[in-house]
Structure formats: C-alpha cells, structure tokens
Amino acid sequence: MAFGQQPQDGNNQYPYGQPQYGQSQYGQQYQQYAYAPNGTAAMNAQTAYSYEEVQSAKRASVTKAYAEMTIGLLITAAVAVFAQVSGAYIAFLQATGLIGVILFAVIQVGMAVYLGARIMSIKASTARVMFYVYAALMGFTLSSIFMVYDLGSIGVALGMTALFFLVLTMFSLTTKMNMLKAGPILMVALIVLIVSQLVLSFLPVSGMTQLVCAIGLIIFAGMTMYDAQQTRALLSAYEAQGPEMIRKVSIVCALNLYLDFVNMFLYVLQLLGSRD
C-alpha cells in the first residue's frame, strides 16, 4: 500500500477484537435508552465523546511525529558539536578528502530513500534506529559550518529557524487552506532549485547565490506547511492499522519535517550569517 491511500478495514469492524458477550452494539444502545430519560440525547453525548477521543488520538499521533523530529535534531546538534570540538570532522576530511564527503552524501541519500521505500516492511524500531543514525551522520557533516560561520551567527540562524518553523507549523495545522494541493508545484520547484545550485557551483554568478538562498527558503517554508498537513493526513489514514503502523508512519513524517528544518536553517544561515 502506498502512502496517501486510505487503508482498507475489510470485514473486521472491531480492530481490537470481537465484542464481548453482552456488550454488543444493540446491548449498548439498550443500556443508553434504559439509563437515560432521553435516549437520543444519550446517543448524541456518546457520539460527541467518541469524536473527542478520536481527535485527541490524532493530536497525540501528530505530536509523536514532531517529538521524533525533535530528537533527531538534538542528535544532529550533539554530533555536530562533538565533531567540531574533537576535530573528528577535520581529521576525516584530511584522511579521505572529497571522496569522503561524496561517500557521506551518498549514504545519507540512500538511507532516506530506503527508509521511505521500505517503511511498510521493516519494524518501527528499525525505522527509528535508521532515522537516528541518519541524524547523526547529518550532524557529522554539518559540523563543517563551524569552520565557516561564527557561533553568534549560527545561534541566531538556529533561533530564527525554530521560530519560523513553529509559526509555519501552527498556521498549517489550523488554517483551512489545503497545502496538499501544492505538493506537485513544490516538488517541481525543489528540483529546479537543486539544478540551479549545481549549476552555480560550477558557474558562480555574482549575487545569484543570495537570490537562490532566498528562493530556497521560500520553497522549504512551503514544504514545511505541506509536510505538516501531510503528517496529519497520513496518520489519520493509517490509524486503523494499529500502534505499530502509527509508529512507522511517524518516523517517515519526522524525517520529512527534519529535512525541512535543516534546509531552512542552512538557507537562513547563508542569508544572515557572518563568515569567520
């Protein structure tokens, strides 16, 4: 089953087991009418209560995805600081050169693609470990920013990104605007952005780098809103398949949100940061 499709329940109306004897649907209705002077009012109250339970479960699932994203960011930050303080990243570059940088990039891309493609067949615990390893590798790579930017610029960029990310998330989860429709447009824009950065890396043009960073920041702001709404939609679609599936979907959603945050941070840093 591909992501974005509604899961099928089949003929099983009771995902957590068959109803116990004496607690059937008709028995519940009989009890509602027997103990309430107004049977309709009692049924409405029960429906409202069930709706609140469902909404609470959905909010908890979304919170879980953001919690996983936060853990990934903390791992990245810790590894980045350790790699800088210990000099591990510099030693790695001296030992491997450009080949090591390319190898790290290939491994990270491969892990992200594998995690998204095989999420249905692997365990939630395996997916979580892969995500944390990916975050650690990203932290090791991002330790290079300490060699380019001063600590003040990094701190300001991180704070601005966190605030920006929070505002975008809250807006996307409360607005009636459907950002899921913008998915294809955002993907095309992202591809154009990547191609533009590759071209500029070989043919640098004065002033174009700042423009591309500004455009990249706008694109990932849109991706953040898109992924926030997609997280809610996917968790709602797969919630009937049980806690294990919710945990796996949460990891994939956390990875998407994590990448949005990291890319926005890098673009903000390039736009506002002071180089050493």
Give the DSSP letter of residue 124. H
- A 10 A CB-CB count for 165 gives 21
Supply the pLDDT for residue 240.
83
Q: Please state, in angstroms and rounded to a whole number, the distance separating the CA atoms of residues 222 and 183.
A: 9
Six-digit token pair at 241?
A: 């398949």
Q: Please state, in angstroms and rounded to a whole number, the distance separating the CA atoms of residues 132 and 251.
A: 10
pLDDT under 70: residue ranges of the chain? 1-59, 206, 274-276
Six-digit token pair at 233?
A: 């939609």
Supply the pLDDT for residue 274.
64
Whether the model pTM is above 0.75: yes
Supply the pLDDT for residue 172.
93
Q: Please state, in angstroms and rounded to a whole number, the distance separating the CA atoms of residues 226 and 129.
A: 25
Six-digit token pair at 175?
A: 């607005």
pLDDT in tens, 119-170: 888 898 999 999 999 999 999 999 999 988 988 999 999 999 999 999 999 9
Residue 170 has phi, psi (to 5 degrees) of -60, -40
